[in-house]
Structure 1
């Protein structure tokens, strides 16, 4: 069932002020060029992707290393570039990391995923394990978020390519999907569509947030057109409706579809109209902020803040956080210590750590 909350501004302002004394900001790294994703290494260091194509190692005391060698060439144009980085669940044993990125040319590009072994300053034995098909000639809507499921398979979001939005409803296309692969890039035998063995769910527009709770629930958010940004609970084989149903309209004001609901298509857990341009998603399950436990933390590019979304069986509650930073939030992560880490765009780009005051 659709849930939509019209947030009361007075309540939101009061809540933000009340919480202001409860957290503090610490700049972990400053001087990054378009940080897109953050991953935590054992021992306290971070990996940070920069969209132009650099992977940086940031030490626990904030020293930004030289670009890690061996990163694959990226297609840096529009929204394309180097995107997500995640560690293999058995990283301490196998040293394997995964990168998502845009590859190709202006006329022939798409989302790709590679895996490699991380040494102190380089990637070794890099292999591309997934490429979206078909390719496209637009430099936008790559999706490109990744997360490992409890069973060790990897989920990858792909965008619809903007001009190819009808492909999101085509099971045979890799555009506008959540892809599920084994850690070596092969399709798991229990994926839902025999005719399209990599597809896990479909009907997505441009998902730039993906997070999995400890109980295995898969949460995703995606950009709508003008309005209609969504948070969804992703289920095996489900259709999330784009572009057949949407709560947004086209950028020129025209209908994408006159329908908000249709039989056989999932409704969002929550949506935003007007758009907040969500990017980066975490499920808060740490101990530092117990009052947030179980909430989704959603980065907002346009609104320059984080939205905390708490859902139960009866309602969805939403709260504005960290707007005092005044920066576009590209990624949100929860660290092993329960602190919240934010990748912030701007000049310069930063990674900020949020801790209890």
Structure 2
């Protein structure tokens, strides 16, 4: 904690009143609050029994270290194409019948060590009028690597071609971890506006103090246009790409029907969380955390702090959340208006929804007993779960009564 305070004061990362208060408060023994476990009361019985009313089938197998998945849904033709990107730079396209096509991604200086590699793929809502898609990945070398976002032209027959840079994190690092890299297109109230996007960036693990430094792009959510320019009316003119700050390793990123932006992120040993993002807000890391260092040492005495936004969900012990969708299909009425969160360490699909007083996290599916990397939905509203590792697969989860469809 002292190291952080010295760095923060020297760099101007924290305002003087806040810094002075932090220094004073470190002299006081403050018990870490692990009482913020998300409650599981008021959960509908239908949600608790979800796993007993579904069937699974392996839709795609033999995937080598997949990192992200998305879908192209055609409701008129009642078809779904699944797009998967793998760590080592391959695009896998699966048609409605399960037929697989594979394409190499021509990514400049792809860096695949540790948690690196291709990280996410986003198909903007303008598709197919515009065939531009976005990919995030780590690039560089052991002693200097960073997160990058590129764009390219996608077709079912050729994969992704004409790849061009969009935005890169300004700072390089010498650690192969904590990249973030999740992409989101912001829904627009005015269709005449240019599309706006967000991408999460991790703190690089050894650089966690940078999450509180506005001039750094580590430990942030960044906002940008398809041309790689910052969004209009930035909160921080000195670093106009910064949308929010104070993040450790932010992953799942989705927008709800009323414009809410939800993001989850990895804590250290404990303190995984879901945040409700507000432009310009500070989410606390590493000043605030409900987790401990992997050594067991305390990172910070604070579980909450004035001017820093608390999570809406906390998972302690850690579940290692990996991705997330906002489910709004009528295939599963019990899941309507629910965040569905995949997890790596816990090997569980969680539902997060709002009760009258709080957000509730519930385990809804753990039958696979495998690390879950990503989640998507097909044209029928069935769930598609992407597993993790060197021999991964896509599992379709559908209601029992629809087995014969």
Q: Please state which band the TM-score falls in when normalised by the shorter chain.
A: over 0.9
1:270 corresponds to 2:270: no
> Following TM superposition, by how much is the alpha carbon of 1:191 offset from its aligned partner in structure 2, in angstroms?
2.2
TM-score scaled by length of structure 1: 0.94
Give 2:142's aligned residue.
106
Match in the other structure for 1:146: 183
The offset of 1:15, in angstroms, is 7.3
Work out which of the residue numbers 54, 60, 63 in structure 2 matches 1:32: 63
Greater mean deviation of Cα atoms: 220-229 or 114-123: 114-123
Q: CA deviation at 1:42?
A: 4.4
Structural RMSD (CA): 1.9
Aligned residue pairs total 353
Greater shift after overlay, 22-31 or 74-83?
A: 22-31
Residues 155-234 of structure 1 aligned to structure 2 (within 5 Å): 155-234=198-277
Q: Which runs of 4+ in 1 moved over 6 A?
A: 14-17
Secondary structure (helix, strand or coil) at the match of 1:166 reads: helix
Equivalent residue for 2:4? none
C-alpha offsets along residues 212-244 of structure 1, whole Å, 9 cap, x if unaligned?
112211000000000000100011000000000
Q: Tell me: CA distance 1:257–1:15, structure 2 relative to 1, closer, same or farther (3 Å).
A: farther
Is 2:40–2:361's contact at 8 Å kept on the other side of the alignment? yes
Bigger drift between 102-111 and 123-132 goes to: 123-132
Question: How does the TM-score come out when normalised to structure 2?
Answer: 0.83
Structure 1 alignment gaps of length 5 or more: none
> Is structure 2 residue 290 aligned with structure 1 residue 290?
no
Unpaired segments of 5 or more residues in structure 2?
1-34, 75-79, 189-194, 401-405
Check the 8 A contact 1:54/1:71 in 2, yes or no: no
2:17 is aligned to: none
Contact 1:85 1:98 in 2 (8 A): yes
Q: Name the SS for the 2:102 alignment partner.
A: coil
Assess if the C-alpha contact under 8 Å between 1:283 and 1:294 holds in 2.
yes
Within 2, Cα distance between the matches of 1:172 and 1:310? 35
Whole-Å separation in 1 of the counterparts to 2:228 and 2:86: 24
Give 1:304 shift: 0.5
